[in-house]
């Protein structure tokens, strides 16, 4: 469903240091992949490349056989949604954040109360300001926001790194439940192998610029 075909990606240093080196891998639909690797190895860059937030130097990324560089950026980002490491917002209230996502995903019919239920938050949260929420609740709101676009693929960039173990487990369980229910292809990156084992159906290791299967 999503394929990396001989992808090279360097940082902007001079001389360039390659983060992805001739990386090839095919992610299958309706599966949960956990990518482990040390901090700074390039896991976030991998997701940023897949979400079209940054360009690759060489190679191709194929979404259902189509090169994503040939697709309009908005289409790529509607179909591939990303949850970031640290919660960040595009509006003051929960509702404003969901509205923002709905507007650009052209999903004006989205029922926000149902979305809140999906991330195990009461619908009264909709009118709360995001700064009033705990980090765990904020990350659930961000997860709900990524769901507004009804993506095919969900990218998760260490979304539990700022959370305590109990809250992190809750988020991981929630992601598993939603991924299976919505039949997403989910790619989760983490430096914690325990988290990778909890969520991943397929566990990959990122090292020396490539991906290899551990499972």
Query: Does 12 engage in binding with other proteins (CB under 8 A)?
Result: yes
User: What minimum distance in Å lies between the beta carbon of 192 and other proteins?
Assistant: 22
Query: Does 140 engage in binding with other proteins (CB under 8 A)?
Result: no
Q: Are 122 and 94 in contact (CB under 8 A)?
A: no
Structure tokens at 205: 């290791």
Site string for other proteins, 72-111 (x = CB under 8 A): -xx--xx--xx-x-x-xxx---------xx--xx------
Which listed range, 118-126, 139-147, 165-173, 198-206, lies at the site for other proteins (CB under 8 A)?
139-147
- What separation in angstroms does the CA of 131 have from each of 94, 112, 127, 161, 164? 10, 19, 12, 19, 19
Query: Does 54 engage in binding with other proteins (CB under 8 A)?
Result: yes
The Cα 190–Cα 211 span in angstroms is 14
Structure tokens at 130: 């995001």
Structure tokens at 61: 């990324």
User: What minimum distance in Å lies between the beta carbon of 12 and other proteins?
Assistant: 4
Q: Which residues of 43-60 are buried (b: 16+ CB within 10 A; e: fewer)?
A: bbbbbbbbbbeeebeebb
Query: Does 43 engage in binding with other proteins (CB under 8 A)?
Result: no
Query: Does 149 engage in binding with other proteins (CB under 8 A)?
Result: yes
Residues found near other proteins in the complex (CB under 8 A): 12, 51-55, 69, 73-74, 77-78, 81-82, 84, 86, 88-90, 100-101, 104-105, 142, 145-146, 148-149
């Amino acid at each position: 469903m999503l394929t990396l075909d001989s992808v090279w990606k360097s940082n902007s240093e001079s001389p360039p240091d390659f983060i992805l080196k001739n990386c090839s891998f095919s992610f299958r639909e309706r599966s949960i992949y956990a990518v482990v690797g040390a901090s700074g190895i390039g896991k976030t860059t991998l997701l940023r490349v897949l979400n079209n937030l940054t360009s690759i130097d060489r190679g191709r990324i194929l979404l259902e056989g189509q090169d994503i560089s040939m697709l309009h950026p908005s289409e790529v980002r509607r179909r591939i949604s990303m949850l970031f490491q640290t919660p960040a917002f595009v509006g003051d209230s929960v509702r404003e954040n969901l509205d923002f996502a709905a507007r650009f995903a052209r999903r004006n019919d989205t029922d926000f109360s149902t979305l809140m239920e999906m991330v195990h938050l009461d619908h009264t949260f909709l009118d709360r300001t995001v700064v009033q929420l705990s980090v765990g609740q904020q990350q659930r709101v961000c997860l709900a926001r990524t769901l507004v676009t009804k993506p095919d693929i969900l990218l998760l960039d260490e979304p539990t790194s700022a959370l305590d173990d109990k809250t992190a487990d809750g988020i991981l369980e929630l992601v598993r439940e939603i991924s299976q229910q919505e039949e997403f292809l989910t790619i989760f990156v983490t430096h914690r192998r325990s988290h990778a084992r909890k969520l991943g159906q397929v566990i990959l290791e990122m090292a020396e610029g490539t991906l290899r299967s551990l499972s």
